[in-house]
Structure 1
Amino acid sequence: MQFTGAFTALVTPFKNGQVDEDAYRALIEWQIEQGINGVVPCGTTGESATLSHAEHAKVISICVDQVKRRVPVLAGAGSNNTREAIELTRCAREAKADGALLITPYYNKPTQAGLIEHFAAIAKEVPMPFIVYNVPGRTSVNLLPQTVAALRKRAPEVVGIKEATGNLCQISEVIEFCGPDFIILSGDDFTVLPTLAIGGHGVISVVSNVAPALMSGLCKAWKDGDTAKARELHYALAPLNRAMFMETNPIPAKTALGLMGRVTPELRLPMVNMGKENEAKLADVLKKAGIL
């Protein structure tokens, strides 16, 4: 399985309103050096909603070029507009990304039948491996396990799901209905270990922006059968996980990387800088974790 282990949902560094290519390349290189298993450009954490199509294509191309096939690149390419999702997925394929991450359409609130048709239309136009992304907290629609199973039969390009419901019963049903070869990636840093324990394959992580070695170490420990080590890392990551969501993602992750000197912590509206009180709390958590 190609998309297993710890994948980082990369932030997109900005400087003076533009994509900071040098900082982005350096961040990707550090992630690989730290043992991350894969990277995800242009996801929610990468502020994809505020990237132009030209910037979106550029960010994916930079990522693929910097990675140089050392780890898989799963490019964010979703939209609530099916035609736009096809265009963005085509950009991912042209950039030679290994796969695409496709969020369920947000705001529109399609039916389960509509979700199947959306992903099937993308698969028909741009045949490449897809991971669908289920995050009802952001989209107001839940891709149900039975729908995932039907979608897998309809579009073999759908090879897995990023599950961010935090609902282990639902995740378990996806595994039950889709089989052990269907890739299950946790979409919540809090639920990585429980997801692995019921048959999941890894995580697309926010916290691994700042602690890639810890998150990849957790996934490796589980794979190696060292459950005690995996549990130890699960609890070591817990304060960092909470800190990454003190404010809306990716505000804390970018702020932390700024404190670490890895990126300029510049955000695009409607995202704004972290509140000073929370930034002080974040810095304290990073210091206690040995990151600062």
Structure 2
Amino acid sequence: MFSGSIPALVTPFRNGSFDESVYRDLVEWQIAEGSSALVPCGTTGESATMPKEEHFEVVRVCVDQARGRVPVIAGAGSNDTQVAITNVRAAKEAGADAVLMVPPYYNRPSQEGIFRHFEAIAAECELPIMLYNVPGRTVTDIQPATMGRIVAAFPGKFPAVKDATGNLGRVSEQRAACGPDFIQLSGNDETALAFNAMGGVGCVSVTANVAPRLCAEFQAALAADDYALALSYQDRLYPLHIAMFTDASPGPVKYALSRIRPGFPTELRLPMTPASEASRTAVDAALAHAGLI
């Protein structure tokens, strides 16, 4: 379930509402292009602007369209422990195979508070939970010792982490704290090659929204220990990885999708705004460099 190229899917909106038809087409294309799993309603999916009913309707549609061909790992985090518990239950009811869970954001709990948050969730929930450590967004950082404590306390409940700390040393620190069988996936496309070299097995990817086949082939090369081939993909994709964040995400991602999938809606929900002219220029150049336009 937790390996290879896993797109953190955007959510298409049209006239303020979820565009189910476009989303189903996106899911189908991702599977056909080789994505190994799907993450609906994460950060890139604009989950922060989605009411709970809509959030888990998107998850349900993703599960329905995937039809068991790839796992669905639903975003389910909250800075309220009780809300996070209800989110995991809703994800299970929607048919998700696992959930992606950030530590509480904004509240800034201590490491003990982080542990107790996940302890309470583990006691109430049946699905596997992929930890998602992204202190650049949450402020809260799951330290390696705390991660090791969480993993050891609940065997099999927390099998993996999406690490978006940007600190490559964390891969080794987390292997030491959580054991060599703990699954680590990069949350940053641009460093995924080095991340895998240090013990990772995949990437929860933004770029895979736009270049799913190239990202899947890149991960396949890494899995085969063909680092020369992987480096050639890295050189081809690196400008695109950077272009995806030349403005607030997912503005550039949706613009890129509209360039390679005509008619894909670029609409975002406030406070997110469309990609700037400079960002669009960078995306166009990166798409051309990757051979996608």
Q: Same fold (TM over 0.5)?
A: yes
Q: Which amino acid aligns with 1:202?
A: G
Please name the residue that 1:47 is paired with.
46
Relative to structure 1, is the Cα distance of residues 216 and 262 closer, same or farther in structure 2, using a 3 angstrom cutoff?
farther
The one-character-per-residue Cα deviations of 1:162-196 (angstroms, maximum 9, x if unpaired) are 10111111221001221121110101001111111
SS at match of 1:40: coil
* Contact residue 171 and residue 199 of structure 2 kept, 8 A: no
SS at match of 2:38: strand
> Gaps spanning 5+ residues in structure 2: where?
none
SS at match of 2:21: helix
Please name the residue that 2:18 is paired with.
19
SS at match of 2:159: strand
The one-character-per-residue Cα deviations of 1:22-67 (angstroms, maximum 9, x if unpaired) are 0000001001111111110000000000000010110000000000
Aligned pair 1:259/2:225, yes or no? Answer: no
What aligned pairs does 1:152-231 form with structure 2 within 5 A after superposition?
A: 152-156=151-155, 157-231=157-231
Corresponding residue pairs, total: 291
Please name the residue that 2:140 is paired with.
141
* Contact residue 27 and residue 262 of structure 1 kept, 8 A: no
> Gaps spanning 5+ residues in structure 1: where?
none
Deviation at 1:206, TM superposition (A): 0.2
Deviation at 1:204, TM superposition (A): 0.2
Aligned pair 1:273/2:274, yes or no? Answer: yes
Distance 1:288 1:153 in 2: 45
SS at match of 2:130: strand
Please name the residue that 2:291 is paired with.
290
Q: Which amino acid aligns with 2:139?
A: S
Please name the residue that 1:88 is paired with.
87
SS at match of 1:162: strand
Distance 1:46 1:163 in 2: 18
Please name the residue that 1:31 is paired with.
30
Distance 1:240 1:35 in 2: 19
* Contact residue 9 and residue 209 of structure 1 kept, 8 A: yes
* Contact residue 248 and residue 273 of structure 2 kept, 8 A: no
SS at match of 2:204: strand
Deviation at 1:281, TM superposition (A): 2.6
* Contact residue 103 and residue 142 of structure 2 kept, 8 A: yes
Aligned pair 1:7/2:6, yes or no? Answer: yes
SS at match of 2:180: coil
Please name the residue that 1:60 is paired with.
59
Deviation at 1:239, TM superposition (A): 0.5
Deviation at 1:277, TM superposition (A): 2.8
Deviation at 1:106, TM superposition (A): 0.9
What aligned pairs does 1:63-78 form with structure 2 within 5 A after superposition?
A: 63-78=62-77
Deviation at 1:199, TM superposition (A): 0.8
* Contact residue 236 and residue 289 of structure 2 kept, 8 A: no
Deviation at 1:262, TM superposition (A): 5.6
Q: Which amino acid aligns with 2:167?
A: N
Please name the residue that 2:125 is paired with.
126
What TM-score do you get using the length of structure 2 for normalisation? 0.97
* Contact residue 11 and residue 41 of structure 1 kept, 8 A: yes
Distance 1:271 1:138 in 2: 15
Please name the residue that 1:247 is paired with.
247
Identity among equivalent pairs (%): 47
C-alpha RMSD of matched pairs (Å): 1.0
